[in-house]
């Protein structure tokens, strides 16, 4: 199983509607189309949806080294509202590839390329993954 296949079968990512576009070492790009189930009481995309999308992208990027890596903390800033039908793209870049404590930045943009949110997170590397490296 490749890293892309591994994350493609994630039950939460499937439920959220997240699609894996690309994974390479220290990088991942995940997309999502905002549906009515992602909208909050104010009629815009719920912040938790964007946080979850960013966390999935973070996980894919930092797990690309074949080591089980769990998120230990994350922070997000929201810049613009996201609406029903918008396409969100989360691009994760691992900034620190530490053998135990990686750190990454995830930029969430809409279909126009506007930066709508910025997520940073750290993780803890635990055990080797049993994956095929032919991403």
- Which residues make Cβ contacts (< 8 Å) with residue 79, sequence separation at least 6? 115, 116, 117, 118
Q: Is the pLDDT of residue 135 over 70?
A: no
Task: Report how far apart, in Å, the C-alpha atoms of 108 and of each of 6, 22, 26 are.
Answer: 22, 15, 17
Q: Is the pLDDT of residue 126 over 90?
A: no
Q: Is the pLDDT of residue 8 over 90?
A: no
C-alpha angle with apex 93: 90 to 97, nearest 5 degrees? 145
Which SS3 state, helix, strand or coil, does residue 9 take? coil
Question: Which tens digits make up the pLDDT trace of 25-65?
Answer: 999 999 999 999 999 999 999 999 999 999 999 999 999 88
Question: Which tens digits make up the pLDDT trace of 77-114?
Answer: 999 999 999 999 999 999 998 888 999 999 999 999 99
Report pTM.
0.90
Q: Based on DSSP, count helices (H) and strands (E) in the chain, helices before strands.
A: 3, 6
């Amino acid at each position: 199983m490749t890293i892309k296949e591994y994350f493609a079968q994630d039950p939460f990512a499937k439920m959220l509607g997240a699609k894996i576009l690309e994974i390479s070492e220290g990088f991942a790009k995940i997309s999502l189309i905002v549906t009515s189930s992602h909208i909050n009481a104010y009629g815009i995309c719920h912040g938790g949806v964007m946080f979850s999308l960013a966390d999935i992208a973070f996980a894919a990027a930092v797990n690309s080294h074949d080591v089980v890596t769990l998120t230990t903390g994350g922070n997000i800033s929201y810049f613009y509202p996201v609406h029903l039908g918008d396409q969100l793209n989360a691009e994760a870049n691992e900034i620190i590839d530490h053998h135990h404590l990686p750190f990454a930045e995830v930029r969430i943009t809409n279909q126009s390329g506007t930066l709508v949110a910025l997520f940073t997170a750290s993780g803890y590397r635990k055990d080797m993954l049993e994956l095929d490296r032919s991403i």
